[in-house]
């Protein structure tokens, strides 16, 4: 899938207010309206309606507050904030004698609608962005000021936020259309469907806001866990198939992590940091955590010769080319005379090209 979205579509502010904030409130409001309609159509009691209206935002605020206290900065992660909300709604419904399955349905559908708008907000401010692609969104200086990686300013990136937004909308429609008459089914359809979508899209994400373990991102581990939780909650062929697919995907990524880790977002950032250090100390030879050594020198024609070498088992000319194309525009990759040495020749400094 290739989308060619002009830069002008990604406005980080709307009349001085962050687009992320505007879309977040819009998603919350519309999600609550839809939830109120569903509660009426499904005949929920006042107590059940209050639970679905009040518990999710309170759980959200509590999680954001706790995370801020722990990591000393605001970090809003979809899975991290929604799972406690769903669990809290289910527990509150059970304690109040309300229909827990229907309360969870409304909560999950509301969160799915919130995500439709939230990801458009992410798209506008350049968070949760994708990796370089032939076609896609281009972010510029206004987004760099908000924290977007300067090296990818002016580069076309996969608009994964828009893909996830559209997928969430599709899942909401599918959940209501296919699970309308069965309490718990809408939530089950959305949660398992989103697990597959999120697990897949993580492979196209280029930001480094979340940790990795054994080659899988935090969200991929969580997607697998939510699918397993759904299998335990509602055992059946559907939930077993979803869990099995994600388990196989996880196994494959873990098995191939050594081949993939050199061009993973965290390591690309590590290379970028090392390049910045080399530019500050021209005589330096800096090594990344995965063992890629970097040095550079200028060429008479104004270009820069970046010398990369490594004994990493996955290091090769094709791997170096993939890394170079992710970090520089128009790089020329030349194998050195010594084994494992690669020269990346980059043009004279281009505006918005990070380190050239």
Q: pLDDT-based confidence at 9, cuts 50/70/90?
A: low
Structure confidence at residue 2 (pLDDT): 42
Would you place residue 15 in the very low, low, confident or very high pLDDT band (cuts 50, 70, 90)? confident
Confidence of residue 6 (pLDDT cuts 50, 70, 90): very low
Q: Which residues touch 18 (CB under 8 Å, ≥6 apart)?
A: 12, 121, 125
pLDDT in tens, 236-274: 999 999 999 999 999 999 999 998 999 999 999 999 999
In this model, does residue 77 exceed pLDDT 90? no
Task: Note the pLDDT of residue 163.
Answer: 97
- Give the Cα separation of 242 and 219 in Å (integer): 16
**Distant-in-sequence, close-in-space partners of 290: CB < 8 Å, separation ≥ 6:** 261, 262, 267, 270, 310, 312
pLDDT for 335: 92
pLDDT digits (tens, 9 = 90+) for 294-349: 999 889 988 999 999 999 999 999 999 999 999 998 899 999 888 889 999 998 75
Phi–psi pair at 340, nearest 5 degrees: 85, -5
Q: Does the reported pTM lie above 0.85?
A: yes
28-37, 157-166, 272-281: least confident range = 272-281
Question: Where is average pLDDT lowest: 146-150, 186-190, 198-202?
Answer: 146-150
Closest alpha carbon to 320 in 348, 297, 295, 340: 340
DSSP string computed for 140-154: -HHHHTTT--GGGTT
pLDDT of residue 76: 80
Domain boundaries, the chain: 7-202, 262-346
Per the prediction, the chain carries an average pLDDT of 91
pLDDT of residue 256: 94
Strand-strand pairing, 216-217 and 212-213 = antiparallel
Distance from the Cα of residue 7 to its chain's centroid: 20
pLDDT at 280 over 50: yes
């Amino acid at each position: 899938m290739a989308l060619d979205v002009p830069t002008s579509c990604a406005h980080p502010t709307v009349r001085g207010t962050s687009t992320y904030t505007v879309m977040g409130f819009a998603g919350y409001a519309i999600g609550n309206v839809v939830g109120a309609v569903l509660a009426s159509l499904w005949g929920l009691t006042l107590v059940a309606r209050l639970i679905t209206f009040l518990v999710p935002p309170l759980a959200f605020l509590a999680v954001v507050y706790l995370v801020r206290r722990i990591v000393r900065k605001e970090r809003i992660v979809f899975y991290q904030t929604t799972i406690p909300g769903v669990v809290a709604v289910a527990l509150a419904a059970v304690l109040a004698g309300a229909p827990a399955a229907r309360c969870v349905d409304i909560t999950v559908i509301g969160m799915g609608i919130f995500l439709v708008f939230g990801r458009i907000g992410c798209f506008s401010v350049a968070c949760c962005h994708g990796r370089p692609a032939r076609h896609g969104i281009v972010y510029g200086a206004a987004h760099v000021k908000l924290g977007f990686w300067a090296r990818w300013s002016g580069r076309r990136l996969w608009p994964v936020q828009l893909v996830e937004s559209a997928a969430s909308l599709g899942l909401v429609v599918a959940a209501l259309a296919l699970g309308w008459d069965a309490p718990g089914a809408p939530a089950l359809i959305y949660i398992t469907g989103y697990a597959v979508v999120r697990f897949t899209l993580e492979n196209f994400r280029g930001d480094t806001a979340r940790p990795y373990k054994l080659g899988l991102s935090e969200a991929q581990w969580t997607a697998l866990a939510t699918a397993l939780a759904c299998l335990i909650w509602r055992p059946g062929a559907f939930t077993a198939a979803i869990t099995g697919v994600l388990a196989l995907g996880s196994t494959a990524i873990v098995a191939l992590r050594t081949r993939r880790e050199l061009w993973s977002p965290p390591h690309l950032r590590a290379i970028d940091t090392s390049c910045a250090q080399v530019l500050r100390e021209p005589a330096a030879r800096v090594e990344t955590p995965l063992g890629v050594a970097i040095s550079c020198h200028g060429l008479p024609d104004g270009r820069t010769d970046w010398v990369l070498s490594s004994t990493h088992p996955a290091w090769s000319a094709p791997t170096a080319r993939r890394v170079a194309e992710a970090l520089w525009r128009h790089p020329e990759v030349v194998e050195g005379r010594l084994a494992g040495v690669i020269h990346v020749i980059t043009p004279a400094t281009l505006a918005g090209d990070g380190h050239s």
